[in-house]
A and B are shown apart, each in its own frame.
Chain A
Amino acid sequence: AQSVTQPDIHITVSEGASLELRCNYSYGATPYLFWYVQSPGQGLQLLLKYFSGDTLVQGIKGFEAEFKRSQSSFNLRKPSVHWSDAAEYFCAVGPNSGNTPLVFGKGTRLSVIA
């Protein structure tokens, strides 16, 4: 079965500290992996995606993610968190084409403290 697990429901980090949000997936075919961010009352904004090639993917807002096939993981990282990064983060997996919907994790809420 296809699934995405985000083990951390809520993470609090200090501004300027580094961040890693975990994501593990289970997918029958070659996965197309995504990280989205959602601010309260807003839609989803794509941070980055991975399908093939370099396993370290750079995204917007200074985020990056590393695909590790052996661990079925696609963790999101940022070296220095800003207060504006406080939001909900969703990891998702899907096919590279066709009409199959994304499978989402339950999300990780990030709080940033001064």
Chain B
Amino acid sequence: GAVVSQHPSRVICKSGTSVKIECRSLDFQATTMFWYRQFPKQSLMLMATSNEGSKATYEQGVEKDKFLINHASLTLSTLTVTSAHPEDSSFYICSARDQQGYYGYTFGSGTRLTVV
């Protein structure tokens, strides 16, 4: 079945630094990647949608200069949290989709970001 590998699973960084999260589709071409944020005991909140080779589309209220998304290849998308602050601490999850939808929506295992 389809697999999306997300790294790192956990990261602790100092306030003001940047953190990069990677999502790789291992056995299919991820034409679209979705990035979600999840607060404790809440549902997933869509942050942005990225199509390979195009600029990401951000949801209302999501700062595109803080959450930089790159989807330069059909197998890799990255989310960079720039100048991180404690309020950016959260669980981030990616989801990949192929063009035909054959593999449905495949989720990564998530990244727990803690900013200290």
Contact of B107 with A101 in the complex, beta carbons under 8 Å: no
Count of chain B residues near A, Cβ 8 A:
26
Q: Of all chain B residues, which has the CB nearest A97?
A: B101
* A90-B43 CB under 8 A given contacts A43-B110, A101-B34, A102-B95: yes
A1-45 vs B: 1/0 string, CB under 8 Å?
Answer: 000000000000000000000000000000010101000011111
Q: Of all chain A residues, which has the CB nearest B6?
A: A43
- The stretch of A63-71, A73-81, A104-112 in contact with B is A104-112
Contact count A vs B, C-beta below 8 Å: 57
Chain B residues closer than 8 Å to A97, beta-carbon distance: 99-101
Chain A residues closer than 8 Å to B44, beta-carbon distance: 44, 90, 104
Q: Which residues of A contact B (CB under 8 A)?
A: 32, 34, 36, 41-46, 49, 90, 92, 94-99, 101-102, 104-107, 109
Which of A32, A43, A49 contacts B108 (CB under 8 A)? A43
Chain A residues closer than 8 Å to B76, beta-carbon distance: none
| B75 interface hit (Cβ, 8 Å) | no
Given contacts A32-B104, A42-B109, A43-B109, 12 further A-B contacts (CB under 8 A): A32-B101, A36-B107, A42-B110, A44-B107, A49-B104, A96-B101, A98-B32, A101-B46, A101-B49, A102-B105, A106-B43, A107-B42
